[in-house]
Structure 1
Amino acid sequence: MICQKCNSEIPAGEEVKHRGQLLCEDCYIEVLEPPRSCDVAAVYSAKSARRAAGHQGTDGLTDLQKAIYNFVKAEGPVTHDQVMQKLKISRQQLDKNFAILRHCELLRAFRENGQVFVTIWTEGGPGEMNIGNR
C-alpha cells in the first residue's frame, strides 16, 4: 500500500485510515498533531536535551536541519519559499524541521510588510521577537 499523503510504501497491516485517506503512521501523527514552532514545553525540552548532550550550534542536528540553518545564516533573512527552492524540499519538510530549529532557538521567523521571513535566532528577550525586528 502507498500513503496517500507522502507516497511512501506502507507495510501490510500498518496503514491508518483517516478521513477517507490511507496514511502511514508518520503522516497520521502529523495530521493529528502538526508541528508547532511556538511551543514553550518543546523549547524547554529541546534546550535541556541539547545542554545535557553537550550540543552547541548545529551539533546533533540532521543533515537537512544543518542545511536549512546554514542557508539561512549565509543568506540573511529568507522566505520559506526561498528555503524550499534552494534545498528542494516540501513545505511539510520545512515546517517539521523549522519547528525543531525554532525549539532549539537556532532560527526564528518574523513578519515584515505582510511577508514571513526566517532568520538566525538572536538573544535579546521578548522585544527581539517583535514583528519587523531583525
Structure 2
Amino acid sequence: MLCTKCNNEIPEGEQCLHRNQLLCEDCYLERLEPPRTCDVAAVHSAKLSRKMAGQEGTDGLTELQKSIYDYIKAEGPVTAEQIMNKLSLTKLQLERNFAILRHCELAHGFRENGKILIKLWGEDTLGKMNIAD
C-alpha cells in the first residue's frame, strides 16, 4: 500500500492511520509533531547541552547540518528553496535540520521585502558580522 501523503510504499503492518489517511511512519510523525524552530525550551536545552559538552560553532552537528550551515555561510542570506535545491533535500529534511541550527543559535530566518530568508546567527543582512549582536 502507498502512503497517502508521500506516495511511498508502506510495508505491510507498518502503516499508520491518522484522520482516515494511511501514512508511513515518517509522515505520521510529521503530522503529530512537526519540527518547531521557535521553541524557547529547545534553545535553552541546546545551548546548555552544547556548553556542557564544550561545543562551539558546528561542533556536534551532523554532516548534513554542517553542509546546510556552510552553504548559508558561503551564499547567505538564502531561501529555503535554495538550500533544498543545492543539497537535494525535501522540505521536511530541511525543516528538521534547520530547527537544530536554530536551537543552537547558529542560523535563523528573517523576512525581507515579503520574502523569508535564512542567515547565520549574528550576521546582518549583508552577511557581515553585526558587532551589536
* Same topology, TM > 0.5: yes
Residues 14 and 67 of structure 1, relative CA distance in 2, 3 Å threshold = same
1:4-58 Cα offsets, whole Å, 9 max, x none, are 4445555543321112322233321221121111110010111112222222111
Percent identical residues: 64
Query: Normalization by structure 2: what TM-score?
Result: 0.81
Residues 15 and 58 of structure 1, relative CA distance in 2, 3 Å threshold = same
Residues 2 and 50 of structure 1, relative CA distance in 2, 3 Å threshold = farther
In structure 2, the partner of 1:111 is 111
Letter in 2 for 1:120: L
Runs of 4+ in 1 over 6 A off after TM superposition: none
Correspondence 1:1-134 to 2 at 5 A:
2-6=2-6, 10-122=10-122
Q: Distance in 1 between matches of 2:5 and 2:67?
A: 24
- Structure 2 unpaired stretches of 5+: 124-133
1:72-129 Cα offsets, whole Å, 9 max, x none, are 0011201111111111111111111111110010001110000011000018xxxxxx
Query: Normalization by structure 1: what TM-score?
Result: 0.81
- Structure 1 unpaired stretches of 5+: 124-134
Question: How many residues in Structure 1 have an aligned counterpart in Structure 2?
Answer: 123
